[in-house]
């Protein structure tokens, strides 16, 4: 399998790397400390076409595929995981609409989120339905007299939920059918009965807002149903396969930068009269870290390649995400240890990267759930 980039992909990688180095990196500490979503950077990414990657140009997208998407996410994650996470999860909205939406829905909503600077969100998780997505309780009962769905319930831990103009909400249109009664409905910000609840105060990813969404007799038109009634669980699982590849790319970016910071530090730090890079113990640390990063990157690109080719990739996406997130946590931990006391201080980016890495083992499916998915696939 050939993972060599085309000239266009090489150009994209360089362009995004330059943007990440020159625009994102200088803002990363401020974003982390303020806890504010960097809308200006998001708009810059929009102008660059990054928010429209994977969507056809006729819908306001910039074309390309998941390969281009993870190139962008990895490069941005090297300097600010919050910004990369928002971009990665934002693209789920467009991918769902592109695959399952009607032509009318695509023309109406995709230009706004792909090139119009508006944020899209994906609302599946609930207080009692995290890893067990099939236990969702939010309902969307159809009112035939008004041709509207009436939503009631609460979603939690929704990335960009309080800022998004459009939210894909997974709700039970036939509660008695449980998972088979789950549907996907698009809800627009400002719709009566739709409000924002708690904004979470997190350990990391401070610049990526995580919100609670509340639906209280929220009425949306019948035309906002995405796909067929009762097919929401399939839509969600399909979306998560792609989302997991995006989170894997985010994890790879964090780990790769932690490795680069460690290489630079060991060359500059002098102890006992020589750079600590000359110490075999630290050389072995770096060798292990480099190996893990490279393996995680290849697994991530393999999963993306299968998806782009239209081949089954559920197992590979789960493996990529499980391994890359574990790598991000292990490599940032080792990098912080290499930096010693300095790594623990906010003067260096390692403590932020260390905090940001942990979430990759949790969101879009915990590592434990990914083991379940992988085991299920290999036991077929």
Q: Is residue 1 part of a domain?
A: no
Beta pairing, strands 148-159 & 194-199: unpaired
Quick one: pLDDT at residue 2? Answer: 61
**End-to-end Cα, the chain, rounded Å:** 25
Quick one: pLDDT at residue 1? Answer: 54
363 plus 250 within the same structural domain: yes
Quick one: pLDDT at residue 74? Answer: 97
Quick one: pLDDT at residue 160? Answer: 93
Instruction: Compute the distance between CA of residue 109 and CA of residue 127 in angstroms, rounded to an integer.
Output: 28
Quick one: pLDDT at residue 131? Answer: 79
Are 338 and 262 spatial neighbours (Cβ–Cβ below 8 Å)? Answer: yes
Quick one: pLDDT at residue 295? Answer: 97
For residue 345, give every residue at least 6 positions away whose Cβ sits within 8 Å of its Cβ, in sequence order, or none. Answer: 351
112 plus 148 within the same structural domain: no
CATH at residue 368: 1.20.140.10
306 plus 263 within the same structural domain: yes
Beta pairing, strands 139-143 & 274-275: unpaired
Q: Is residue 326 part of a domain?
A: yes
CATH at residue 47: 1.10.540.10
Q: Is residue 2 part of a domain?
A: no
pLDDT truncated to tens, each residue of the chain (380 aa)? 567 899 999 999 999 999 999 999 999 999 999 999 999 999 999 999 999 999 999 999 999 999 999 999 999 999 999 999 999 989 999 999 999 999 999 999 999 999 999 999 999 999 988 778 778 899 999 999 999 999 999 999 999 999 999 999 999 999 999 889 999 999 999 999 999 999 999 999 999 999 999 999 999 999 999 999 999 999 999 999 999 999 999 999 999 999 999 999 999 999 999 999 999 999 999 999 999 999 999 999 999 999 999 999 999 999 999 999 999 999 999 999 999 999 999 888 999 999 999 999 999 889 999 999 999 999 98
Last residue of a domain, one of 70, 90, 118: 118
Q: What residues make up the domain containing 163?
A: 121-230
Are 208 and 86 spatial neighbours (Cβ–Cβ below 8 Å)? Answer: yes
131 plus 54 within the same structural domain: no
Q: Is residue 169 part of a domain?
A: yes
20 plus 108 within the same structural domain: yes
Quick one: pLDDT at residue 320? Answer: 97
Q: Is residue 336 part of a domain?
A: yes
Last residue of a domain, one of 118, 133, 152: 118
Q: Is residue 27 part of a domain?
A: yes
112 plus 128 within the same structural domain: no
Domain count, the chain: 3
Smallest Cα–Cα separation from 377: which of 330, 312, 333?
312
137 plus 47 within the same structural domain: no
96 plus 143 within the same structural domain: no
Quick one: pLDDT at residue 134? Answer: 77
Catalytic one among 118, 212, 364, 377? Answer: 364
127 plus 92 within the same structural domain: no
128 plus 196 within the same structural domain: yes
286 plus 349 within the same structural domain: yes
Annotated catalytic, 364? Answer: yes
Last residue of a domain, one of 82, 97, 118: 118
255 plus 144 within the same structural domain: no
Q: Is residue 142 part of a domain?
A: yes
Smallest Cα–Cα separation from 183: which of 92, 96, 112, 243?
96
């Amino acid at each position: 399998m050939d993972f060599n980039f085309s000239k266009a992909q090489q150009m994209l990688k360089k362009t995004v790397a330059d943007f990440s180095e020159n625009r994102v990196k200088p803002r990363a500490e401020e974003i982390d400390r303020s806890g504010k979503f960097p809308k200006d950077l998001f708009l810059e990414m929009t102008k660059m076409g990054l928010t429209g990657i994977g969507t056809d140009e006729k819908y306001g997208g910039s074309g390309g595929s998941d390969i281009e998407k993870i190139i962008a996410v990895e490069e941005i994650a090297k300097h600010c995981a919050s910004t990369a996470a928002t971009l990665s999860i934002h693209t789920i909205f467009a991918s769902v609409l592109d695959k399952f939406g009607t032509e009318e829905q695509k023309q109406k909503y995709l230009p706004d989120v792909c090139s119009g600077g508006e944020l899209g969100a994906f609302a599946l998780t609930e207080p009692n339905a995290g890893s067990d997505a099939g236990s969702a309780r939010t309902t969307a009962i159809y009112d035939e007299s008004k041709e509207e769905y009436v939503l009631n319930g609460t979603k939690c831990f929704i990335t960009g939920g309080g800022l998004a103009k459009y939210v894909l909400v997974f709700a039970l249109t036939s509660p008695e059918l449980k998972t088979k009664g789950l549907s996907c409905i698009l809800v627009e910000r400002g719709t009566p009965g739709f409000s924002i609840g708690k904004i979470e105060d997190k350990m990391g990813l401070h610049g990526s807002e995580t919100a609670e969404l509340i639906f209280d007799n929220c009425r949306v038109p019948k035309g906002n149903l995405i796909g067929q009634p009762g097919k929401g669980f399939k839509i969600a699982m399909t979306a998560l396969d792609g989302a997991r590849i995006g989170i894997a790319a985010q994890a790879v970016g964090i780990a790769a930068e932690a490795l680069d910071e460690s290489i630079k530090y060991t060359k500059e730090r002098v102890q006992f009269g020589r750079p600590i890079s000359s110490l075999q113990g630290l050389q072995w640390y770096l060798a292990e870290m480099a190996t893990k990063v490279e393996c995680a990157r290849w697994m991530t690109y393999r999963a993306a390649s299968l998806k782009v080719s239209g081949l089954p990739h559920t197992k590979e996406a789960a493996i990529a995400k499980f391994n890359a997130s574990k790598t991000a946590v292990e490599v940032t931990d080792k990098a912080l240890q290499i930096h010693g006391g300095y790594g623990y201080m906010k003067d260096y980016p390692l403590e932020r990267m260390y905090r940001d890495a942990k979430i990759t083992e949790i969101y879009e499916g915990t590592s434990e759930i990914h083991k379940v998915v992988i085991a299920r696939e290999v036991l077929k």
